[in-house]
Chain A
Amino acid sequence: MTHSRLPVLGPLRLLTLAAALMFSLAHADEYADVSQLVRTGKLPEALTKADQYLASKPRDPQMRFLKGVIQRDSGKTTDAIATFTRLTEDFPELPEPYNNLAVLYAGQSQFDKARTALEMAIRTNPSYATAHENLGDVYAKLASQAYNKALQLDASNSGVPPKLALIRELFSPAGAKNQRPSPVPTAPSVAPAPTPVATKPAPTLPGPVVSKAPPAPTIAAPAAVQTPATPPAHAAPTAAVSSPAASATPAAAAAPSSSNASKDAEAAVLAWAKAWAARDVKAYLASYGKDFSPPGSMSRSAWEDERRQRITSKSKISVKLENLAVTASGNTAVAKFRQDYKANGLAVSSRKTLDLVKNGERWQIVKESTGT
């Protein structure tokens, strides 16, 4: 799932960027093709291709989701609302369609509806960062409206409507397994049924829940699911990563996994955070594997230049990782944690997921996503 670069209200909105994007091999190309067409602005072609796909797989949630995004980008708000509404009806466990419905409603100044949709998204997935942040903006907008009504102020005083963050691509079912107990029903290559423990979203929740239930066993099932080839994903760096500053003290929570692979992968994550905080650009960039896909259509070298510029421009960076949970299987690992980033007065806390692959003896990041 990549995140649109819409104009946003505050600096924090930029933080909610991608989360895991894991296409099943069979369909990844078609999703990727449509996404590519959207990215390059070829909306009619994208819509045609999406419709072609949906002709044979009318229930497919990912392509329907993409179609909704295309409709929205094409200015067909009513159609997009209909598409996402039907997605929420067919797949009530997915938070993303609710989020995008909220974006569309907010665009129409229907903030009550936007709020309801976002609250549904969060009910579906309590740690869904984008929805939380969008909801924060909607609450602020509704509060402003309430205050205006309270003080009988002209509605024209209420300022511009917030621009909420649109989710541009849907999790694949496999990728979603870490977040959601029930995989999308019609999705291809559905992973093994989640263990009973896994029906709890505990592993992705911050703080208290994790501390109560050791996440290791919970994570086992989904981790296994993620093992198969993860095609280079459109990971987008977070704003935290892209606009950081100053010196760091990584403080990692205990990693629950008992396997050596997990420990090694965890060490790689800690080293990454430490390099970042130390503004050691060389070590920081070396944390990323050659398969790492920079966000958008950015080339690897352009991305590296941007990272270097952003990191070295800060006088002090602090990166703290909390609730770090690493699950490894074979040569792949997934690290999930809360990242508390501070630099030059900016303090940002966000959830992050790093996908790592073992190259030789080194664990390297192949995908970096923010949000749940």
Chain B
Amino acid sequence: MMAGRLTADMGRSVLNTLLLTLAIAGASPSHALGHKRTDKSKAVRQDVVVAKDTDGVAEARLIEVYRLIGQAQNREALAKADRLVEDFPHFQLAQLVHGDLLTAQTRAIKTFGDVPDTVARSASAALAELREESQRRVRALRERPAPGTLPSQFLALSQKSKHAIAVDASRSRLYLFENSPAGLNLVADYYISVGKAGTAKIAEGDQRTPLGVYYITSNLDPKSLKDFYGSGALPISYPNILDSKRGKTGSGIWLHGTPPNQFSRPPQATDGCVVLANPDLQHIIRTVEVRTTPVVIASQLQWVAPQKTRAESKPFEDALHGWRNAKTSGNLQQVLTYYTPDFNSNGKTLMQWTPTLKTELDQAQGRTIQLKDVSYLRWTDAADTMVVTFGEVADGTRVGWTKRQYWIRQENQWKIFFEGVI
């Protein structure tokens, strides 16, 4: 290289073009963060955050570097990348971009992650993974959910659930919602990794992340965990009732963090868990509640307007009210029409479970059954199902049960294939 031509601008156009090709240039961080924090208490997030233990910051700073590259401001991009890797030395994607920006000081950049050929050959898998991670992060930030839309699974969420989580595996993204009386509100979203073999877990050891509607079941003490799990772990309820009915096996599916030497992991890297960067996971752990926080994991989320989902859920609501009315009437035979023949409640067949149902009817003694805090989340794959949670209380009584039911739509009739007290 020659002294006079050795400028920060060198290679800029190529790198710029390259990143544009990767559809990175348009990923403006303001846009990226625009949906992340709408509540006032966390509005500080919109500012330039320097603390390194804050969720989402590393990615926002990476995207800012991308944006500067997109604007052909390589010098500023390098300065910001310098600080980014200083604060997050194990953020491999940031290191890759930093390497490119340093390289661009001396020669033109030919490709994103323009490592020497020998390295490109010996570490081709790792390089491909980082490029994929970059694209997924950028895509998730460029293609935002339309304002006011929610994942189609969230039909109704009672105030018993203060938060909800939805994971879009295709985007390597976890969306965190706050549930207010006005409805669900997207407050943050994070890059995540799923199973090495992708999603749709079927069997133990298949290295896939399950798809379905789950709940956080516990919050594991980080001190009890190996370094590998990072800053904590939130196990979820895999296998759920539908999974078990389908004979799926395996266990120990957690949301957890990353080991000390890895800020984030490739898009497909886990044994089936959903893995987040430690600051992001910590924010989730501090925010969400055990048992009442649903976790929907989809291969690809559909974002729809709540009024549309309300209209679509009318047939189900009618069925649920029909079941309640039947129960209020005390007519066992009428109630039983709401259950599928293959109903199963924790091992009991419908016949074995019918006495339990009869006991409940007897206890109600014709009093009106009230359903309180009703939540229902729809899960549609080969089957169309509904995961329903509510408090069941007969008028004049002080206490009832918190129940969970799984409904399935069969020949346009919604029927219950599981019912249990939780």
| Measured CA separation A146–B4 after assembly (Å) | 25
B130 at the interface (CB under 8 A from A): yes
Interchain CB contact (< 8 A) of B92 among A130, A145, A149, A206: A149
Q: Is the CB of A127 within 8 A of B3?
A: yes
Closest partner residue, chain A, to B98 (CB atom): A146
| Measured CA separation A213–B182 after assembly (Å) | 66
User: A328 CB to closest chain B CB, in angstroms?
Assistant: 25
Q: How many residues of A contact B (CB 8 A)?
A: 33
| Measured CA separation A348–B5 after assembly (Å) | 11
Contact flags (1/0) for B2-16 with A, using CB distance below 8 Å? 111110000000000
B43 at the interface (CB under 8 A from A): no
User: B259 CB to closest chain A CB, in angstroms?
Assistant: 11
B106 at the interface (CB under 8 A from A): yes
Q: Is the CB of B4 within 8 A of A151?
A: no
Q: Is the CB of B3 within 8 A of A129?
A: yes
User: B103 CB to closest chain A CB, in angstroms?
Assistant: 4
Q: Which of B53-61, B112-120, B140-148, B347-355 touches A?
A: B112-120
| Measured CA separation A147–B92 after assembly (Å) | 8
User: B135 CB to closest chain A CB, in angstroms?
Assistant: 15
A39 at the interface (CB under 8 A from B): no
| Measured CA separation A207–B127 after assembly (Å) | 39
Contact flags (1/0) for B396-410 with A, using CB distance below 8 Å? 000000000000000
Q: Is the CB of B116 within 8 A of A144?
A: yes
How large, as a class, is the contact surface on chain B?
Answer: 20 to 34
Q: Is the CB of A151 within 8 A of B130?
A: yes
Question: B96: which A residues are within 8 A, CB to CB?
Answer: 146-147, 150-151
A329 at the interface (CB under 8 A from B): no
Interchain CB contact (< 8 A) of B99 among A16, A127, A132, A144: A144
Q: Is the CB of A150 within 8 A of B4?
A: no
User: A162 CB to closest chain B CB, in angstroms?
Assistant: 11
Q: Is the CB of A136 within 8 A of B130?
A: no
Q: A140-B106, A151-B130 are in contact. Are A132 and B92 (CB under 8 A)?
A: no
| Measured CA separation A5–B92 after assembly (Å) | 38
Q: Is the CB of A146 within 8 A of B3?
A: no
Question: A156: which B residues are within 8 A, CB to CB?
Answer: none
B220 at the interface (CB under 8 A from A): no
Q: Is the CB of A133 within 8 A of B100?
A: no
User: B57 CB to closest chain A CB, in angstroms?
Assistant: 19
Question: A143: which B residues are within 8 A, CB to CB?
Answer: 98-100, 102-103, 106
Q: A144-B99, A147-B99 are in contact. Are A136 and B93 (CB under 8 A)?
A: no
Question: A274: which B residues are within 8 A, CB to CB?
Answer: none
Identify which of residues 108-157 in chain A touch chain B, using a CB-to-CB cut-off of 8 Å: 127-130, 132-133, 135-136, 139-140, 142-153, 157
User: B357 CB to closest chain A CB, in angstroms?
Assistant: 57
| Measured CA separation A151–B227 after assembly (Å) | 20
Q: Is the CB of B103 within 8 A of A140?
A: yes
A338 at the interface (CB under 8 A from B): yes
A12 at the interface (CB under 8 A from B): yes
Contact flags (1/0) for A87-99 with B, using CB distance below 8 Å? 0000000000000
Interface residues, chain B, with chain A CB atoms under 8 Å away = 1-6, 85, 89-90, 92-93, 95-96, 98-100, 102-103, 105-106, 113, 115-116, 119, 122-123, 126-127, 130, 261-262
A-B CB contact pairs (8 Å), 10 listed = A128-B3, A136-B105, A146-B96, A147-B95, A147-B99, A147-B115, A150-B95, A151-B115, A153-B122, A153-B123
Given contacts A144-B116, A150-B98, 8 further A-B contacts (CB under 8 A): A139-B102, A140-B102, A146-B96, A150-B92, A150-B96, A151-B92, A151-B96, A151-B123
Interface residues, chain A, with chain B CB atoms under 8 Å away = 12, 16, 127-130, 132-133, 135-136, 139-140, 142-153, 157, 206-207, 338, 348-351, 371
Q: Which 9 A-B pairs have the closest CB atoms?
A: A146-B99, A129-B3, A150-B96, A143-B102, A150-B95, A349-B2, A132-B3, A151-B123, A149-B95
